[in-house]
């Protein structure tokens, strides 16, 4: 797929599957504009919706937005430096998104990433800019994150049980603890550094 200017895929279908797709754009838009102004992928359907992305390469766009609430699967996906927002039901929703086998993220590249109200069952080989995971844990199941590369990592909310193995961050690793019985959030921050943990980092939130 070549020269899909502005937006590549922008839909609100209940079920969306993208498989074996490579999209590229030329150096400039017709009329002299620049590339990467639109979305590589946007799915605006909420309740009852699912998104499956497999072997999807679209690294010339600015944003990615996924609002599926039932299932999200991303395997071998490259969005380059696009900002990725994963907000089940939209930013105004408070409902839980997918978890366990319905939330799979394996070999994904993106820019700054925000994931809210999602509890990954698989989270492996992820490369991002800043990474923020917010909202309360959906279940008490351990979330395992392996081979994660990000400039900063932030996890906030109640009930998280996270194990991180082979983490690389060029700035800082942030652990946020929300103590709802006291009505405040306490933040502990490591000093800026390049951080690798070959033996794994276990964080209880």
Write out pLDDT tens, residues 145-157: 999 999 999 999 9
| More confident of the two residues 136 and 2 | 136
Whether 100 and 139 map to the same domain: the answer is no
Q: What is the dihedral of CA 43, 38, 57, 130, to 10 degrees?
A: -80
Average pLDDT, the chain: 82
End-to-end CA distance of the chain: 43
Q: Is the pLDDT of residue 198 over 90?
A: no
Instruction: Please state the pTM of the whole predicted model.
Output: 0.81
Task: Name the domain boundary from 68, 84, 117.
Answer: 117
| 123 found inside a domain | no
Q: pLDDT over 70 for what percent of the chain?
A: 78
Whether 94 and 185 map to the same domain: the answer is no
Q: pLDDT over 90 for what percent of the chain?
A: 60
Whether 46 and 112 map to the same domain: the answer is yes
Q: How many domains does the chain have?
A: 2
SS3 52: strand
Whether 60 and 137 map to the same domain: the answer is no
Q: Is 107 left (phi over 0), alpha (psi -120 to 50) or beta?
A: left
* Residue found by looking up tokens 């990000």 in the block: 150
Convert 133-198 into a string of H (helix), E (strand) and C (coil).
EECCCCCCCCEEEEEEEEEEEEECCCCCEEEEEEEEEEEEEEEEEEECCCCEEEEEECCCCCEECC
15 half-sphere exposure, CB direction, 13 A CA radius: 0
Measured distance CA(38)–CA(79) in Å, rounded: 12
- Is residue 109 within 8 A of residue 132, CB to CB? The reply is no
Q: Is the pLDDT of residue 73 over 70?
A: yes
Measured distance CA(15)–CA(17) in Å, rounded: 7
Measured distance CA(166)–CA(147) in Å, rounded: 5
Whether 69 and 162 map to the same domain: the answer is no
Residue span of the structural domain in which 61 resides:
1-117
Per-range mean pLDDT, top range of 28-37, 91-100, 170-179: 91-100
Write out pLDDT tens, residues 55-71: 999 998 999 999 999 99
Write out pLDDT tens, residues 119-142: 999 999 999 999 999 999 999 999
């Amino acid at each position: 797929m070549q020269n899909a200017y502005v937006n590549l895929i922008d839909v609100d279908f209940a079920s969306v599957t993208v498989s074996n797709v490579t999209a590229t754009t030329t150096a400039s838009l017709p009329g002299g504009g620049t590339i990467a102004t639109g979305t590589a992928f946007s799915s605006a359907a909420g309740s009852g919706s699912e998104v499956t992305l497999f072997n999807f390469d679209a690294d010339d766009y600015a944003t990615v937005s996924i609002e599926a609430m039932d299932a999200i699967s991303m395997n071998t996906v490259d969005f380059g430096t696009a900002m990725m927002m994963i907000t089940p039901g939209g930013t105004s929703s408070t409902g839980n998104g997918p978890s366990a086998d319905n939330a799979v993220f394996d070999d994904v590249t993106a820019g700054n990433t925000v994931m809210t109200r999602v509890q990954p069952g698989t989270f492996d080989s992820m490369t991002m800019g800043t990474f923020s995971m917010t909202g309360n844990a959906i279940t008490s199941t351990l979330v395992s994150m392996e081979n994660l590369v990000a400039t900063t990592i932030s996890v906030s909310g109640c009930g998280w049980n996270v194990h991180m193995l082979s983490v690389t961050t060029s700035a800082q690793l942030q652990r946020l603890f929300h103590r709802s019985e006291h009505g405040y959030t306490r933040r502990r921050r490591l000093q800026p550094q390049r951080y690798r943990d070959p033996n794994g980092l276990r964080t209880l939130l």
